[in-house]
Amino acid sequence: MSSEATLAEMHEEKESSQLWFWLTLLGLFLLRVAMGFVGVSPALAQPLTFVTAAIIMGASFFALFQGAKGLWTALKGFIFIGIGVLLHGGGIILMNGLKLQGAPGVFVEVFIQMGVLIWCMGLGALVAILIKEKNLILPVAIFLAGFDAFLILTPTTPMAQIAQKNPEIVGNIGMTVPQVKVQTPDEEPKAGIVDLAYAGPADLFFAATFFVCLYRYKMKAKKTALILGPILFLYLILVMSVGIPLPALVPIGLTVLLVNAGEFKLKKDEKLAVGFVALIALGLAGFGLYKRATYKPPAEEETTLELPGGTPPPELQSQP
């Protein structure tokens, strides 16, 4: 009888934790909407941007952390994916199809961001269900960190090119971090959201995967989240400072591994396999760092302005 009561309490606790997932999303929704309508003086804009960036980044991963506590099944994961894709994909179709701006654009854009977190939570849980043993977290986290570093740091990969030249595409499929609007007293208030930084969807759903696994195998989930939060905020500041995209799965994967290192019990052959994966990951990351350090952007072609008929413009004509 006591064991049944304990199981019931655990089930109730997990379901209440998922309530925090939805409440956190509600808080993010309200904050993002407010940022779309409220502007501040130039002196306050930058410090408030750092504050709101920390809140949005921290609350997003807090939501995934709380959602990971739930009792996950494949059906539940697919339901989350369906809801998220409906908000995310439907919002993008509305934005592009109707060319929404102003207040309608703000609300639709915020719904898009909520959809991203919901489907990433569901997909992360589905991937976690496929990880049948906690020791598998080791090679998965190591390889993903190295592969993400390769994709983002190597300047010639499609992912790096998109993130560098067309970051709005990353914003369309991933999470955005908006900046606080600047508004002077003589300006008329204008609704709109200006994005400052982006996080790809892989960062979100693999974080959700790790959180679900940590809870599923009774590892140090809470400690991992408490350490990961400040690290990701510092990482966000670094990204905004250097102005180039950086691989977020590196700090996520390393934090999961280092905090939970004592939880993994490997046999000799498993240690060899993990070591081999680590060598591959280091090779990928090292190649990406080398290509980034030695990369020289192609020189822009010089163009000469000509008038019809091949005659140079007057100011470029040679003097007699």
Q: Which residue segment(s) compose the domain that 223 sits in?
A: 12-293
Q: Is the pLDDT of residue 306 over 70?
A: no
Confidence of residue 129 (pLDDT cuts 50, 70, 90): very high
Q: Is the pLDDT of residue 286 over 90?
A: yes
What percent helix, strand, coil does the chain show, rounded to 5? 75, 5, 25
Dihedral angle of Cα 68, 70, 75, 77, to the nearest 10 degrees: -20
- Tokens encoding 261: 């290192």
Please indicate whether residue 191 or residue 34 has the higher confidence score (pLDDT).
34
- Whether 5 is in a domain gets the answer no
CB contact at 8 A, 188 and 102? no
CB contact at 8 A, 207 and 140? no
Question: Tell me: the pLDDT tens digits for 213-222?
Answer: 999 999 999 9
User: Measured between alpha carbons, how far apart are the two ends of the chain, in Å?
Assistant: 106
CB contact at 8 A, 4 and 53? no
Question: CA-to-CA distance for 175 and 195, rounded, in angstroms?
Answer: 10
CB contact at 8 A, 150 and 281? no
Amino acid at 274: V
pLDDT of residue 170: 64
- Whether 166 is in a domain gets the answer yes
Question: CA-to-CA distance for 234 and 14, rounded, in angstroms?
Answer: 30
Domain count, the chain: 1
The mean per-residue pLDDT over the stretch 275-280 comes to: 94
DSSP letters for 84-123: HHHHHHHHHHHHHHHT--HHHHHHHHHHHHHHHHHHHHHH
- Whether 40 is in a domain gets the answer yes
DSSP class of residue 174?
A: S
- Whether 284 is in a domain gets the answer yes
- Whether 306 is in a domain gets the answer no
- Whether 303 is in a domain gets the answer no
Question: Tell me: the pLDDT tens digits for 59-101?
Answer: 999 999 999 998 899 999 999 999 999 999 999 999 988 888 8
**Range with the poorest average pLDDT among 5-9, 37-41, 135-139, 198-202:** 5-9
Please indicate whether residue 159 or residue 142 has the higher confidence score (pLDDT).
142
Instruction: Report the SS3 class of residue 182.
Output: strand
- Whether 314 is in a domain gets the answer no
pLDDT of residue 42: 86
Q: Is the pLDDT of residue 313 over 60?
A: no
CB contact at 8 A, 285 and 292? no
Using DSSP bridges, classify how beta strands 181-182 and 39-40 pair: parallel, antiparallel or unpaired: parallel
Q: Is the pLDDT of residue 14 over 70?
A: no
pLDDT of residue 166: 67
The mean per-residue pLDDT over the stretch 197-223 comes to: 91
Give the pTM. 0.82
- Whether 3 is in a domain gets the answer no
**If 0-12 CB within 10 Å is exposed, 13-18 middle and 19+ buried, where does residue 186 land?**
exposed
Q: What phi and psi values does residue 243 have, to the nearest 5 degrees?
A: 75, 15
CB contact at 8 A, 117 and 152? no
